[in-house]
Amino acid sequence: MSYFANAGQILIEFVFGILVGLIVLRVLLQLVRANFHNPICQFLYKASNPILMPLRRVIPAWRRLDIAGVVLAWALLLLKRVLLFAMMPVMPSFAGLVLIAFADLVSFVLMLMLILILVRVILSFVGSDSYHPVVPLVFQLTEPVLKPVRTRLPSLGGLDFSPMIVMLAIALLQALLVAPLLDLGARIGFG
């Protein structure tokens, strides 16, 4: 691969990472019913509304899950994969690309959750009583994942091992769910 192709790949990964992150965060914030008055929530809603609102007329939400946002994030990852494969000599079939993009979406959500849990752990060490608007959002986004694990663990003298267990589960999901989906997508795509 040439230097320009490498630079193009970096730019594509960066731009689509930001766009997908914006959409996935909005979907997750709606899912956990985050405080709309938070300035970060307002930014995410205002930045994603021009694209998401027309889609929501066609693809309705299911309960609190914004299906239009999930479809948009998947479509962005599909477009990213098409652009990345366009720089290579071979292009997989559409069915393979669809599955690869789905695996990318699952992997993105898992990695985002891992990062949020790590931020929460760091905030618990340095003090989570900050008035920064990110702090309550991190706690709201991670609590639905950590609370079921925390309630099943025995009390260990005030230590919370639920982040460690959830991070282990995320690593296992990456290895046992995402990797096989990527392999299956590659097998379907390249025959």
Residue-wise pLDDT for 89-126, tens only, equals 889 999 999 999 999 999 999 999 999 999 999 998 88
Mind listing the pLDDT tens digit for each residue in 6-54? 999 999 999 999 999 999 999 999 999 998 899 999 999 999 999 999 9
The three-class DSSP label of residue 169 is helix
Q: Which residues of 126-164 are buried (b: 16+ CB within 10 A; e: fewer)?
A: eeeeeeeeebbbbbbbbeebbeebeeeeeeeeeeeebbe
**Other C-beta atoms lying within 10 Å of the C-beta of residue 29:** 21
Ordered by start, the domain boundaries in the chain are 3-190
Instruction: Please state, in angstroms and rounded to a whole number, the distance separating the CA atoms of residues 146 and 161.
Output: 9
Determine the pLDDT at residue 128: 63
What are 129-176's pLDDT values in tens digits? 678 899 999 999 999 999 999 999 887 777 889 999 999 999 999 999
Q: In the structure, what pLDDT confidence band is assigned to residue 1 with cuts at 50, 70 and 90?
A: low
How crowded is residue 183: how many other Cβ atoms within 10 Å of its Cβ? Answer: 13
pLDDT digit string, tens, across residues 48-97: 999 999 999 999 999 999 999 999 999 999 999 999 999 988 899 999 99
Q: Which of these, 70, 75, 37, lies nearest to 56 by C-alpha position?
A: 70
Q: Are 41 and 35 in contact (CB under 8 A)?
A: yes
Amino acid letter, residue 81: R
